[in-house]
Amino acid sequence: MAPHPDIRNPDMTHPSYLGWQIDWPVFVKVPFQDYKQGDHFDWVSKDVDPLRVAQLYSIGQIYHNKELEKQVKVGDRLEEMDGGQLETLVRALNVEVKARTNSTSEYTSKKCKQSKIDSKQRALLRSFLRNNRWVEEKFFEIRDSILD
């Protein structure tokens, strides 16, 4: 059976048949209201109903685009980091974890895991951040100091 033609996605967009990813930034594909094509649609700060965002996504007016994320510098920006920068970020986050834990075993269970494979390290970081919301502010601070 041949793969679905949308499986390979050369323009770096999230395939619409997989649905809208609520935690990924979205961009305008088809202009509407005061938005131009390529604008970041920051629906969270504008207090747009998530159902409305899902509707806009399903009809193709907004979409996910990793390249635009890099250009506009939105999202977690982990795609912009190379292996050395990812390692620096993980080490710095683990210093924060160590400061908040009381024992070596607790630290070992709560720290951000490490990988030499960049894509896997990004996934490990995202999982760590999802499970440890308390460290988000420090993450953004460390990330920005590494990237800027």
Q: Is residue 107 part of a domain?
A: yes
Residues in the chain with pLDDT values less than 50: 1-12
Q: Is residue 9 part of a domain?
A: no
Do 68 and 101 lie in one domain? The reply is: no
Give the pairing type, strands 62-63 and 27-28.
antiparallel
Provide the whole-model pTM: 0.61
Q: Is residue 2 part of a domain?
A: no
Query: What's the pLDDT tens digit per position in 132-143?
Result: 989 989 998 999
| Distance from the Cα of residue 13 to its chain's centroid | 13
Do 62 and 88 lie in one domain? The reply is: no
Print the domain residue range for 83. 78-147
Do 129 and 89 lie in one domain? The reply is: yes
Query: What's the pLDDT tens digit per position in 28-51?
Result: 999 988 999 999 898 888 888 888
Number of domains in the chain: 2
